[in-house]
Structure formats: structure tokens, C-alpha cells
A and B are shown apart, each in its own frame.
Chain A
Amino acid sequence: MTENNVILHVEGLKKHFPIMRGLFIKRAVGHVQAVDGISFDVYRGETLGLVGESGCGKSTTGRVILQLYRPTAGKVIFDGKDLTELKGEELRRLRPRLQMIFQDPYASLNPRMTVGELISEPMIIHTNKTRAERNDRVKELLELVGLNPKFDRRYPHEFSGGQRQRIGVARAMSLNPEFLVCDEPISALDVSVQAQVVNLLEELQEQLGLTYLFIAHDLSMVRHISTRVAVMYLGKLMEMANREELYESPLHPYTQALLSAVPVPDPVVEEQRKRIILEGDVPSPVNPPPGCVFNTRCPLAVDVCYKEIPEWREIRPKHLVACHRVEA
């Protein structure tokens, strides 16, 4: 993959949510630094896995990229245009090209709309298709995601979790997007159903050349589906590399601990694996520690880690890391 194939360029992206206090006169008494200055590229046709534990800012990152939240600072350049500077009609015209698949297939579908209505809604807003054309497209999409096209008159409650997630995928696909943010699309599903949805996402990518930002906390699934992987912690990127390189030779102590903590479904392997147990919990994003944000739990932390914020640097070709202790 070459540089000119960048579909999305994110630079210095920040999202701070104010914490408001006061009954009549609201004042910001602090900020949740959900995303705090992250930069990365996404290449056309790839799947970039974004992993991290709860509260690390991975979902906020996805939402800020799609301008569902407006960023506090930074740029999101999609196909040459900075989304953060676009407003109203200009932004609306770009929206069909960037879509989202949500985590909760129960909460993200309006229970009062039929499947047909749910899937055609984006087309009513963004296209000039006639009702008949839309209905044809709905049937085509249902087929595409592996549901019976005759189900278009049914309501979401008539479907199981996995089927609902397929409806969510069909809705996101209805405008032929190029770039999809998949925000934990499988974590609400049972194991055997997760594989169905992941296989569907992979098939669609192969057929249609889609680009995914796949946000998840399941490191095994991310390894399976991603081309490259980025690891987030407390609003910052810790490490990013090609999938094999990240999983086989992680450099950042957080990535190392995170990967070692994931159980492997194989008792023979489990017997021999060494686990790095991190102490304590993730600090509050309202008041992140000075220096490297990982310093409170890092087994390798030295003086400089408490004073200076580590630089986000390319340590090997295409392998970026933010850590004082990693040497080139």
C-alpha cells in the first residue's frame, strides 16, 4: 500500500468533554480528555483495528471522525477534504461515503420502523430514488447481508441479535459507502453468531472494496480481521503497526501486557504462556497523569516517563510507538 492511497488522514485529533457544574449558571469545572491528540492514516481497502480497554477513547475517536461529535482540535481529512471545517450541506453531501455500524443491535434500530423503512431511510434523505427503486435496493441489500428479502415488512423485534446486526449492516451499506466505522459490531453477540457477522463484513469488503475502522476490545477478533492495528490507552495512541508485527513483536509495554492477558483457547499453549499482570486500574481521563499516561501501571517506567510526554514516532518502517523506553 502506498502513501497516495490514504483514504483518511487524522492529525492531532482531540475531543475534550466539559464537565458542567452549577444550577443556573453552568460552568465547566474540568474536562474529560477522551481523545487527546492522536494521528494516524487509514489506507483504502484495509481494515484498521482500533483496540483498547473501556474508556480509552476508541469509540469517541470513531464518532469524532464521522463528525458525530465535533472535535476540540485536530484535522480529519477524508479524500482531500477536512471534515472538521465542513458544515451543513457540504458535510451532508459527504456523509453517504462514510457510514457507521453500531455496537448494540437492539438500541440502534427504531422499533417502530419496519426493516424496509429502516434500510430505505438513508436513501430517502440522500438520494432521488423512487419508492420502487428503493424497494428493489432494500431487497438487494437484504440478500447481500444474508437475510430473506421477504422480511422487509417485519419489525426489528422479530429478529435475533445476529440478524439485527445484519440489518444494521444493510442500512449502513444502502448508500454505497467507501469507509465504515464499525464500533464494537460484535460484542453484544454470542460467540457462534459473532463469527457469522465477521465473515459477512469480510465478504462485503472483498466484494465492494470497503475500508473499515474496526473498533473493538476483543484482541483475538481484531487480529483476525485487521490489516493494521492501533492500540489506544487513556485518549492516546500507544502503538500502531501491521497486524503480524504488532501481535508477534509488540514494542510498547502496554501492548505487551494487553496481549499477554488475552486467554488462548488451547490448554497446552496456556500452560506455557507467561502473563504480564498490570497492577491497578486505568487512571481517570479527567485528570490523566503527567508525562506518559501509562506511567502509573508501567513495569518499565523511569524518571523521564513521569515528566515528558513520549513522542509518537516511527521506530521501524510503518511501526509507530509512543514510549520513552523503546529503542530504535
Chain B
Amino acid sequence: MAPKVLEVNDLVTRFYTPEGVVHAVNGVSFHLDEGETLGIVGESGCGKSVTMLSILRLIPEPPGKIERGEAVFMGRDLLKLSREELRFVRGAQIAMIFQDPMTSLNPVITIGKQVAEQVLEHLGMTEAQARERTIELLSTVGIPNAADRLGDFPHQFSGGMRQRVMIAMALSCSPQILIADEPTTALDVTIQAQIIDLIKELRDRLGMAIIWITHDLGIIAGLAERVVVMYAGFIVEHAAVKELYANPRHPYTIGLLGSLPRVDGRHARRLANIVGRPPDLLQEARFCPFAPRCASVIEHCWEENPLLRLVGTDHQIACWVDVEKAVKEVAR
């Protein structure tokens, strides 16, 4: 087994807003192996982005607060590092790319300057070296005539090209971990295919580990080795990719997969739908957060929030219905 590069334990993040306390992340634990791709899947507001931002301490404090937990990266807890120490980790060892490449780039600074900024900051290169490295990086991510485009501004690039620039910036210091937060959601499907192809190629060449956050179960199927499914700030299922799609166990995952039509047409005539909508995170979960929408809900679900438990090799779920089933099987 490959060594772990990141281990997150019992992470809790809350936001103290005028409306009340938002329980965004409620005790999330997972790990990332060296060179592996981990998918984090969930709908909007499930806490997938906040989890990642918490690890890099990028959430605004206040109103946000990391209440407890640890995020161990190369033997050090990121949540305990000083600002100065953290600055060496961010961007250099753990890099992040975001959903919207337009708002992530500064519109009044040239592309060349923005990419060079990272190498100047982290690698201590001279201006001339940084320029060389920038051209090299932009060519790596497939920007034609990179040398001629250093003086261009972000608005002169298309959406796909801007995302390539973001990737170039993320890769500039050869990070061990790349966190990709829905990097293709704003892009068209043919451009999305280009970007995914590029990231896969770079991953295999550079051997970095990737955490890919998305709501799209399709992208994850072809990209990740392991998948974490989040709901209302909890991890509800966690499995190897093939296991998850072939044998989903949590009712939410089952519902989510059933509600997806497929371009290859292999799905039911009627889409399964999950009734209702995700819970209000202002309430602390005292029972299973999926219970109000769950089709197979039992009494126990309303009494206690289930913990993640192992149900197979590399397969964990948090569900009372499943526990009940297992108990019945043992009894028989």
C-alpha cells in the first residue's frame, strides 16, 4: 500500500452567521494515498468545498471556524501551522484549482505575471528564470505560442484556456497534492474532455495525488480510484470507485445514481428521484440527515445519527437500514 500523503481526522467546520450556526462540516475523516485520485461527490451545500478550504485554512474566519480535527500532511498538522509555515505549503506543496477560472484570475494583471508570481514567491527564481519557467508551464498545459501570450490579460483567453492557465499556476511548484474544486463545471463538454485529459496526463507524468471535488458522478467514474460521497456535511459512503458504482449501499448514493440519465442509454425509462431537498444546516443533526428523504427509512434513523462503518474491503457507509439488514442476516 502506498504511503498516505494526507490524513484528515474528525474535521468540524462551522459558520457563525446572524441567522445561526451553519454546521457545514460535521466530523469528516478520510485519507489520501501518494499518487492516487480521490473523488469527493455531493450536491451543492454538502460541505465538499468547505472541507477542502478548511484543510488549507482558506475559509474566512470569522464567520467560519474550524472547531476541531486534524489534517496531517507529511507528518505535520496543517490546522496547527503558523501563517508563515502554511504559506510554504499552500501553492507549493498543496495546490488548488477552482471552478470559475475568470474570478480566480486577476483581470488587470497579465497572464505571464500571474503565473510567474508563484515561482518567484516559492522557488526564489530570478525574473529571467521565472519567465522561462512560465513559458514552459504554459506550453505544458497546451497553450499555443506561450511566449507570445505572456502579455495577454485573462479576458483575452477563452474559458478553457483560462482553466489551463490555472492548472499551469497550480503545477508551477510541482505540488504533491492537487485539489481540484469542480474545475470543469463552467466549461463546455468538449472543453471539459480536453481539461480532464490534460490533468490525467499530468498526473501520470508528475505522480501527484489529486482530490477532485464534483457533483458529477460521470466525471468521477473515469478519473478517481476511490470516492467519498458527502451529504449535509457528513461522509455517508466511501468506497473504491468500481465497488461504489457496482454496489452502492447508502440510499442516498443509490438514489443519486438512479437519478442520472446516461449518454449510453443504459438506464431505466423513468429516473429515480429523491423526494424533497437537502436539510437545513442551521440545525445540528440529531438523527440521520438523510432520513427525511430516504425511501427505506426505519425508526432507528430518527433516533440517532449513524456512524461510518466498514461493510466490505475499502467500503464504508453510515446507515441504520444497512445495519438492520446485517443484524437480520446474522440472526438467520
Contact = CB atoms under 8 A, between A and B. Distances in A.
Are A and B associated in one complex?
A: yes
A264 B190 contact: no
Contacts of B197: 275, 277
A281 B163 CA distance: 13
B168 interface: no
A257 interface: yes
Contacts of A269: 221, 264
Given A192-B259, A275-B193, A263 B219 contact: yes
A264 B263 CA distance: 7
A243 B320 CA distance: 41
Nearest to A273: B222
Interface in B256-272: 256-267, 270-272
Interface in A260-317: 260-271, 273, 275, 277-279, 281-282
Contacts, number: 129
A108 interface: no
B245 to A, nearest CB: 5
Given A53-B189, A262-B189, A267-B221, A247 B263 contact: yes
B43 A192 contact: yes
Nearest to B277: A160
Contacts of B194: 277-279
Contact of A266 (B196, B219, B262): B262
B321 to A, nearest CB: 18
A269 B217 CA distance: 13
B188 interface: yes
Contacts of B241: 267
A220 interface: yes
B265 A263 contact: no
A224 B160 CA distance: 28
A267 B242 CA distance: 6
Contact of B188 (A53, A162, A190, A195): A53
Contact of B191 (A162, A194, A219, A281): A281
A294 B192 CA distance: 18
Contacts of A270: 221-222
A191 B263 contact: no
A263 B221 contact: yes
Interface in A217-253: 217, 219-221, 223-225, 244, 247-248
B255 interface: yes
Interface residues of B, number: 47
B232 to A, nearest CB: 13
Q: How large is the interface on A (under 10, 10 to 19, 20 to 34, 35 or more residues)?
A: 35 or more
B158 to A, nearest CB: 5
Contacts of B218: 220, 262-265
Interface string B285-326: 000000000000000000000000000000000000000000
B158 A281 contact: yes
B257 A265 contact: yes
Q: Which label, helix, strand, loop or mixed, suits the secondary structure of the A interface? A: helix
Contact of A264 (B259, B262, B271): B262
A13 interface: no
A218 B160 CA distance: 18
Interface centre among A53, A54, A248, A267 (most CB of B within 10 A): A267
Contacts of A244: 265
Interface string A181-201: 000000000111111101100
Nearest to B293: A192
A258 interface: yes
Contacts of B72: none
A223 B260 CA distance: 11
B273 interface: yes
Contact of B221 (A196, A219, A259, A265): A265
B97 interface: no
B264 A278 contact: no
B190 A191 contact: no
Given A264-B221, A266-B245, A281-B160, A190 B263 contact: no
B259 A217 contact: no
B274 interface: yes
Contacts of A192: 43, 255-256, 259, 273-274
Nearest 7 pairs of A and B residues by beta carbon: A263-B218, A270-B222, A224-B261, A195-B259, A261-B193, A53-B188, A195-B271
Given A265-B217, A281-B191, 4 more contacts: A190-B215, A199-B270, A263-B221, A264-B263
11 contacts: A191-B43, A195-B260, A219-B263, A258-B190, A260-B193, A261-B193, A265-B220, A266-B221, A267-B221, A268-B245, A279-B194
Interface of A: 53-54, 160, 162, 190-196, 198-199, 202, 217, 219-221, 223-225, 244, 247-248, 257-271, 273, 275, 277-279, 281-282
